[in-house]
Amino acid sequence: MAILAGKAVVITGAGQGLGRAFAAHAAAAGAAVVVNDVYEPLAKQVADLISLMGGKAVVSAGSVTDPDQAEAMVDTCTAAFGRIDGLVNNAGIRYQAELGHDDPARMRELIEVNVLGTLFCTNAAVRSMRGGSIVNLGSVAMVGQPTALTYSASKGAVASITAGAAAELHDKGIRVNAVCPVAWTNMAASDTKATPCGPPETIAPLVTYLLSDRAAKVTGQLVRFAHGKLHVMGQTSPLEPVLEREAWDVDDIAEAFEEQLEQEDPAWVRWGVRR
């Protein structure tokens, strides 16, 4: 039996790039798919392709920044397929801009799509899900990428959403994970530091796995998948050593940075703490 047989999933931003690959792969694995995209003709092309492949797909076009559209996607899924078992929060945008020259309107738009879109769609989906899986699109840019700070901030938020939702929804049987992929898409092409990499189809098996029951024990994880390498990323945690004193003054703190911490863990030097 196909790994997603009998399941119904919503995939946002599925008109092209990673979303298109996720939708096609999930459908090939047996899922019925709601194809969302802000551009309806692109969403229809993907739904038609899935139908030609013998799969099931319907379109729910509109922006994830509209909470009513988020509700409509879920309603479309339950009306067409009788249930919703999965959500892939793939819709996202990015751009490069130096600090001091960024456009507030573009900043606001990016945060609304990448952060509020993820929140709106998750908020709508969990009301109808009876167990299942949510997959968010993260990025290692969450640690801070020069000339893409708005995008980095949005992906830091997605990491927080993933961890918090996974903990909150555990008792409802809903798993929440994020993938941090590298694939050559229009979005990747907008990254001036990006290097050629594999097509979106190389990432799709990971998303299908996380949507499936075979990943029943996997939740709250940030999964890096790039250049043929797969690994789980830890949530932010203190670097060792952790130093403790009853009281700290400026000299004590300076000594910790300049001597003890730098000598014990070179990571402090890598993150910009130098003598």
d(CA 33, CA 47): 8
- Check 39, 95, 151, 209 and give the catalytic one: 151
Contact 225, 140 (CB under 8 A): no
Cα R_g (the chain), whole angstroms: 21
CA dist 39 → 45, 91, 186 (Å):
10, 12, 15
d(CA 235, CA 255): 28
User: To the nearest 5 percent, what fractions of the chain are helix, strand and coil?
Assistant: 45, 15, 40
Q: Using a CB cutoff of 8 Å and minimum separation of 24, what contacts does 166-172 make?
A: 166/219, 166/220, 167/220, 169/126, 169/134, 170/219, 172/126, 172/129, 172/131
Q: Is 151 a catalytic residue?
A: yes
Helices (H) and strands (E) in the chain, counts: 11, 8
**Annotated active-site positions, please?**
151
